[in-house]
Structure 1
Amino acid sequence: MTVLVTGGNAGIGYFVAEQLAEAGIEVVLGSRDAAKAEVALKVLRERVPGARATWARLDLADLASVKGIEVGALEAVVLNAGVYLEGPDRRETKDGHEMTFGVNHLGHFALTATLQDRLKPGARIVTMGSFAAKSAKLDFDDLECQRDYQPKTAYERSKLAQTLFALELDRRLRAAGSGRLSVVAHPGGALDSLTPDRPPLHVRSTKQKLSLARIALQGKDGGARPAVRAAVGPDVHSGQIWGPRVFGLKGKPRPEPVRGPYADVEAAARLWAASVELTGVEPVFS
């Protein structure tokens, strides 16, 4: 079994890859930076002796890179990579899209279309959502925040877009009679300060190690578990959302209700059409 993890060279993506490798699954780290990918592979192989792991060049801010990714047949892809930009300045991808929306949503939308012939029957497309999406609302007159750019708003909208995309993909897969699954996972409250060290990828300070946040939140290793469960768990169904058990913030993964902004079928269909127009591609499965 082979799973592609976008952004697998750092953060939650690295721990998704590590946990999959511990289960004996071959992992491919999607990364735009060769040096960072090689460091992550070295750490992964030290943690999981005998791990089957490689990396593939993938820059989600460049649609040409997305469409040219070199990977073989896959049993699953975890659409994990993402950006949360700081500072007041609006930035754009190589293709002229607002960076947060372009990387987090449009890049993964295009990647799903690119992989449609490489995802085996029964394969799973796991999209990484976020708690932040629950308070978001898409503005279809300004999807890319050209009028009023706020980093936090742009991030929240991008994560809602990812979730709506995944749920719309589920509806289209079922309508087409496809055996593939589209599932959402979110990490809950996953903090660097609670994440175990993986030098040189991640090393906590003494102050971080003493953080009391662990009472209510968890590390990025815990945040990876819902995505791993969604990718390989035997009890997972298409169209589900998986998150941490304790108030959606920490703990073992469990399915959550699809409600609120996530249940807006009309918005999901409008987003799909806009994404096709903006990327020039469309995921179509049979």
Structure 2
Amino acid sequence: MPSTSSTPYWDVHRPPPAHDKVVLVTGGNAGIGYFIAEQLSAGGATVVLGSRNPAKAQAAAASIRVRVPGARVRTVRLDLADLPSLRTAVEALGTERLDAVVHNAGVAFDDPPRRQTPEGHELMFATNHLGHFALTHWLMPLLSAAPAARIVTMGSFAAKTERLDLDDLQSRNDYAPKRTYGRSKLAQMYFGIELDRRLRAVRSAVASVVVHPGGALDSLTPSRPSVHVRTRGARLRGAPASLVVQGKDAGAWPAVRAVLDPQVRGGELWGPRVFGLRGRPRREPVWSHLADASAATGLWEASRDLTGVDPARLP
């Protein structure tokens, strides 16, 4: 693998034009997902905000239109924890092709008790991983219709110190909120890497890329009225942290680059340049535990059994 130091310069404030692209951003109504959508819209892309809350999605779309005159942005109701609804959500996209999907949406809980979806899946694992796994299956015809589509999966630094327990993927026996969240994000990242391997095996033109935002804090994130408001107190309290981490606007940069940069390749991992926590996006070595083929295969088989679909089976 070439050195990451050879990564070409990328101007985060002037990405290449994207007028010909249609992109779905899950969780595009808030946080990092919102800024991914705003930045892609600024480049001219048609952006679809996927959200389980239609009112919040409409507020986010309105905010983007204020900042990006002429923005081509619309919304679709998308609840990743409701697996049976995903096929209908994809049909509601109303597009003949999709140039990229950014798997960004997620939930995180700080306190017990363990929560489940109506289908009986642990809620963080179901939303963060299983929902995106199944959604990819239903999106694959649209992605395959594009010349060179990208599936961009948003991981987390929280996954770097976690390891999967294939015998307890849904934390039935050992539930701890922060650990369960980290493992759900690790599952997402395994999925993104393994998906690309399987797509290459069938010579698909679709590529799967994994990214992470580094350290992205609300207190360092610029305000977007009706979406996020940073108070003066929060700004002052967060100032010292800016030496180490960044706002969610900057946390969006690796995903935006993964969608738009023709130099990005499937199977790669992209994150912030400075210690993986802040700065311009760069390609970094795939974390050693993400290269565990047996864990990736075991997770894929379990996910296929739990969802009843296989994203790598192309139309």
* TM-score class normalised by the smaller sequence: over 0.9
Report the aligned-residue RMSD.
0.9
Query: Which residue matches 1:52?
Result: 72
- Counterpart among 167, 176, 187 of residue 150 in structure 1: 176
Distance 1:102 1:76 in 2: 22
Paired residues for 1:125-274 under 5 Å: 125-210=151-236, 211=238, 212-274=240-302
Question: 1:11 and 1:258 mapped to 2: Cα distance?
Answer: 25
User: Normalised by the size of structure 2, how large is the TM-score?
Assistant: 0.89
Report sequence identity in percent.
Answer: 60
2:311 paired with 1:285: no
Task: State the alpha-carbon separation in 1 of the partners of residues 147 and 138 from structure 2.
Answer: 16
1:253 Cα offset (Å): 0.3
- What residue is the counterpart of 1:31 in the other structure? 51
Q: Residue 160 of structure 2 contacts residue 287 of structure 2 at CA under 8 Å; is this kept in 1?
A: no
Please tell me the residue identity of whatever aligns with 2:202. Answer: A
What displacement does 1:259 show? 3.0
CA distance, structure 1, for counterparts of residue 40 and residue 300 of structure 2? 30
CA contact (8 A) 1:105 1:162 kept: yes
Deviation at 1:86, TM superposition (A): 2.1
User: Any conservation in 2 of the 1:121–1:178 contact (CA below 8 Å)?
Assistant: no
Shift >2 Å, 4+ stretches: none
Match of 1:115 in 2: 139
Deviations 1:166-197 (A, max 9, x none): 11001001100111110001000000000000
- The letter for the 1-side match of 2:302 is A
Deviations 1:70-107 (A, max 9, x none): 22220000000001112110001122100000000000
Q: Is the 8 A contact 1:4 1:30 kept in 2?
A: yes
Q: Name which of structure 1's ranges 72-81 and 255-264 shifts more when overlaid on structure 2.
A: 255-264
Instruction: Tell me, yes or no, if structure 1 residue 86 matches structure 2 residue 110.
Output: yes
Unaligned runs of 5+ in 2: 1-20
Distance 2:157 2:227 in 1: 25
The total of aligned residue pairs comes to 286
2:134 corresponds to 1:105? no
**d(CA) in 2 for partners of 1:142 and 1:170?**
25
Residue number in structure 1 paired with 2:8 = none
Instruction: Structure 1: state its 5+ residue gaps.
Output: none
Conservation of the 8 A alpha-carbon contact between 2:27 and 2:106: yes
Q: Alpha-carbon deviation of 1:20?
A: 0.1
Contact 1:93 1:102 survives alignment (8 Å): yes
The SS at the match of 2:84 is helix
Match for residue 11 of structure 1? 31
1:42 to 62, 71, 74: 62
**Counterpart secondary structure, 2:149:** strand
- TM-score w.r.t. the length of structure 1 is 0.98
Deviation at 1:222, TM superposition (A): 0.2
Secondary structure at 2:140 match in 1: coil
Matched letter for residue 301 of structure 2: A
Q: Conserved in 2, the CA contact under 8 Å of 1:134 and 1:260?
A: no
